[in-house]
Each structure stands twice: as C-alpha cells, then as structure tokens.
Chains A and B, each alone.
Chain A
Amino acid sequence: MTIDRLSGALLVLLGVFVVWERRVLPLGSSQHPGPGYAPLLLAILLIIFGAILIAGGKGSPPLRSISWPEAPHAAAILACCIFTTILMERIGYRLTIFIILGFLFGVMERMKIWLVFTLAIGFSLGSFWLFDSLLRVPLPRGGWNF
C-alpha cells in the first residue's frame, strides 16, 4: 500500500460519508440551491480527487516509509490536549495547565522535580495573570473558583 493510495481511499470514504450524511439536507434546485447542494458538489469533487490519487498513486512512497520517531511525545501531547478539552472548565485553567505542564516536564522530559514545580507553577499562574487579570480575557476557574 502506498501513501497516495491510502490517502486517496480515505478521501473517497469521506466523500461517500458526506454524500450519505447530506441526505437529511434539502438539495433544492439549480435555480434555488438548498443547504445540501454545496456539500454534495464538494463530496463529489473529493471522491474524484481521491480516485485520481488512487489511480496515480502506484509510484508514491510506500506507507512503511513513514517514520514515527516522535510518536511517544506526540501521544503524550495529544493526551494533554484531550485532558484539557474535557477538564479545563471543570477544574479551572490554572490547575489544568499545572497538571499538563507537570506531566510534560516531569514524565516526558524527566526534568528535576524542583524545576518541574517551578516551571509548572510559574507558567500556569503567570499566564493566568497575564491573560485573565491583565488583559481581561476570562479564563475558566472551575468548580473550586480557582
């Protein structure tokens, strides 16, 4: 399997999915196109581009040529993003940022514990002060109002 063939197949699948999901939206007519008109046109275009990629993708590099040396870090950062999305409004900005920075500095980068605490506390409180207190950008304080 080559990179272009896989990406082409994914684009075709996405196009088909949009065509299927679009069925609840009225298509209208060419005189008065409805909300489903543009999604259908775009889905067709996506299927065409995907098909071209599949057809011409024989010479592209194989999928196994992609290297993932940064995968552990990427997974950790991704986990931090998900954690933030789910919990930031519940536990507040400062605590969330303290936890994710503590995790990244301490677990992923294996820094010394005093440095982890200094950086995590400094960044979380400092950025809160800069944005919320100084620039009046409201940041979540969570259930404990912190």
Chain B
Amino acid sequence: MEVSFQNLILGFATVLTPTNLLYALLGCLIGTMVGVLPGVGPLAGISMLLPTTFGLDATSAIILLAGIYYGAMYGGSTTSILMRIPGEAASVMTCIDGYAMARKGRAGPALAIAAIGSYAAGTLSVVGLMFLAPPLARFALGFGPPEYCSLLVCGLVVLSYMTGGSIVKNLSMITLGLMIGIIGIDQMSGYFRFSYGLVSLGDGVGVVPVAVGLFGISEILATAGSPDRREVINPRFRDLLPSKQELKDSIGPIGRGTVLGFLIGIIPGSAHIISTFVSYALERRMSKHPERFGEGAIEGVAGPESANNAASTGALVPLLALGVPTGPIPAVLLAALIVHGINPGPLFIKEQPVVFWGLIASMYLGNLVLLLLNLPLVSIFVNLLRVPYRILYPAILMFCVVGVYAVNSSMVDVGIMSVMGILGYLLRKMDFETAPLVLGVVLEPIIEYSFRQALAMSDGAYSIFVLRPISAFFLVVALVMILLGLKPLIKKTKDWRERLTEAERGA
C-alpha cells in the first residue's frame, strides 16, 4: 500500500506540470470529439493521431493518447443519447434508454448521469489498475517462453470466443493476422519472408496501417453515400442537472457497472462492448420495475456507461503488466508505446515507474477533466454532430492518410492501409470480425519467438507446453473456450454470443 501511494505521489508530481496537464486536457477533448463523430471510432482516432505525439517525450505522449482513449469511450454516449447513433460499439446499450429519455425532454440528465457514471467508474477502476497491475507483473516475471506462448495463444482464443459471431471465422481471422505478422525479416534467422523484394517491408507490416485500414478506411467505404440521419436533440446547459431521485437510482448501477466492467475488461475480446450488455441485463433483472427499461430508465444509462469506462481501464491491466493487448485498441496503444521506446511487460512498471505512475495519475485527472469540461461543452459537441457526413468522410480519409504516412514516412504503409481497407470492407460484407486480425498482426512476433524458443529449450518436444503447470493451465482454458465456441455448431442452438451479435446489429 505504502509503496503504491509513494508511487502515486511520483505520478502526480510527473503529471502536475503545466505541459502534461495541457496534454491530458487536449487528449480528453480530442478523444471526446473522436467518440462523438460517427465514422471515427477510438481505434482509428488513436491510430490517426499517433503521429501528433512523435515530438513529445514518452510520458506526455502516453498521457495524450490515454486521454484520447477514455475521452473517446465517453464521447460515444453523446451521440447515443442525442441521436440514437452509437459513436462507437460500446455505446449501443446507452441508445435504448438514453434516447428514450431524450425524447421525453430528459437528455440533459441522461448526459449528466453518463458523465458522472463514467467519471466514477473511470476513477475507481484506476484504483483497481493501480493495485492489480504491479503484483500481476511480478507474477509474470516467472514466465518462460512456453508460458508466454501459451498465454498469448490462450488470449487469442479467448478473444475469438468473446468477440461474438462464428468462432471458426474468428480463429481464421487470427490465423490470417498471424500470417500478415510474419511478413518481414525473421528476427531469429534474418531471412526476408513474403516481402517480395520490397525493402520497406523488412520491418514487417505495422499495426497502424492495418488498424486504420481495417477500422477507418473500411468504415468510410461501407458508409459513404448513405443518407445523413441528423435529427439531433439539443439540451440546454441549465437542464443538465439530474433530479435527486435520478441520482439515487443511479448509484447502485454505477457501482455494479464499475466492478463488472473492470473485471470483464481484463478478459480479451470485445470486453467493453460485452460489459455494457451484461450491465444492462443485470440492471433490468435487478430492477423492481423492469418494464421501465426501454422507455427511459436512468439505470439503463448509468450501468452500461460505467461498465464501458471501467472496462477500458481494465483492458490496461494485461497490457501494462504483461505486455498483452486484449483488443485492437490496446494493441494500437501497445504500438504507440513501442514507438516511444517503451516495451510494456513484466519489467515495464519496475523499469519505467515515471511513465507508469504518471499514466495512472493522468487517468485520475483525465476523468475529472472529462466530467468538468464535457458537460459545459455539450452544445459544441452537438454542433459537431450537425456537420454533414459528405463533408466529414473525405476529411477522415485525409487524416487516415496523414496518420499512416507519418509513422514511418512511407508510402508503402499508405498502400498497406488501402489494401487493408478493401480487405476490411469485404470481410464486413462476409460477416467476419476484423478485431482478431489486428491482434494476430501485433502478437505474431512475440508468439513465434516464444514458440521457437520453447521448442529449442525442450529439444523439440511439444510436451513442454503441457508439462509446465502454468502453460498447461492456459492451454486448458483455450481448449475450453474452443469447445464452448463449437457447442452451438453441434447443438444448432443460439448461445449468448450470437444473441449479442444480433442485438448489436439491431441497435
């Protein structure tokens, strides 16, 4: 405890400089805009804005990017409540009761409760991150190559199960991602693999062009030309305050959403999306008046919004402690950290205490900034929503090009982004999820390296993966997930993942 508080003071000493405070503020503002604007999800937003951090020192850069991350998570709720359009997938559940409240003239309280819930969940889950990440990192210091390889395989399989849709399709996307990750120079032998004479591919396919292509360009390809749906409800600032009863009704859902979201956030997959569905279902079940849900129940806004923000912080636990991203957004954050010379993993917290604790402190401040700034600025964000999409999508395309080009000053990366854009567009049409593909690309070098090292250690015996208890545990979890994923195929029944996918599409 004492060590944590000393470190937290170190973190606040790092963040409480005018420059870093400014970056925390900027990150939250830009993040909220990214979350608000349709067509720019948090993933594409972070990827596009990564180059803007190149001139900054590592701590300031991470503070800015983290601000964008949780700002975007919060911003999604604004469009959900005011337009019934989720700014990002995790805000789907907020649409139901948030928009119903807005139709009844209660948009202000819905926005305020979403902000208060996000603040409480964000702050409380940072406490969880602060206490959970360091011991987890210490535990992971004992991992050898077999444990690491099995952990990553387990993570990918859990991701493919939790993402929803067909597990076979998700596993094939992971495999495709791993294959794309193979392109470039083999770190152990120095061979060029699948680069077809292109020297620029020597360093491999970067995660930024892949992520921007799959999530940014493919989104534009799929949505450009669609008619603008722009009925925006504009709340007045003086109407933002929720009533005493609404506040009272929200306390329980916020608390439950925070715990649920944080715990689900640690698990690989679409955790922040799943956590909102689970939270909504839980609140509805626990309510004495479940019939109010769908008609504007404040609990239906408070629970999912809190769960969403807590899950975003929960996802940082495995990323910072183990170096394992649990979804595409943490994967891009991982790439950003690597660009700034930081390698997350068990040694990260020990070797880079200033960055880690600075990030923790910035998250406390960032959540406060989001609460204090976003409610007064809601009218500005509403005006952003009035920008026609036919003006917006060419601008998004331009930012995608700049963001991708600037990482390596490489036109090959812009080409990769275009190819990934087409691939993502076609994969959407064919009902494939693209998140597992991004994770595959990011994790391939670590998986292959630890896999080959493990085999070298055991003199070629694959049994090393099952004879070491921790490794065997991860593989058993992976096997259970595969069997659970295959169950609906054999029994021809719908499991919760299929229902979740249908609900997401229906929103």
Residues of A within 8 A of B (CB): 3, 6-7, 11, 14, 18, 21, 25-26, 29-35, 37-39, 42-43, 45-46, 49-50, 52-53, 56, 60, 66, 68-70, 72-74, 77-78, 80-82, 84-85, 88-89, 93, 97, 100-101, 104-105, 108-109, 111, 119, 123-124, 127, 131, 135-140
Contact = CB atoms under 8 A, between A and B. Distances in A.
A127 B405 contact: no
Contacts, number: 175
B175 A46 contact: yes
Kindly state the interface size class of chain B when it binds its partner. 35 or more
| Residue of A32, A43, A84 contacting most chain B CB atoms (<10 Å) | A84
Contact of B172 (A11, A38, A60, A138): A11
Contact of A88 (B217, B393, B405): B405
20 contacts: A30-B462, A38-B452, A39-B193, A49-B175, A52-B168, A68-B429, A74-B425, A81-B401, A85-B415, A93-B402, A100-B394, A105-B390, A109-B390, A119-B394, A124-B398, A127-B399, A127-B402, A131-B402, A135-B54, A137-B402
Given A42-B179, A81-B417, A56 B489 contact: yes
Interface string B400-433: 0110011001010011011001100100011110
B467 to A, nearest CB: 16
A42 B175 contact: yes
B172 A101 contact: no
A109 B388 CA distance: 11
Interface stretch (B1-9, B74-82, B117-125, B222-230): B222-230
B256 interface: no
A63 to B, nearest CB: 9
Given A53-B168, A70-B221, A85 B189 contact: no
A3 B165 CA distance: 14
Contact of A25 (B171, B191, B226): B191
A66 B169 contact: no
A53 B217 contact: no
| Residue of A6, A45, A93 contacting most chain B CB atoms (<10 Å) | A45
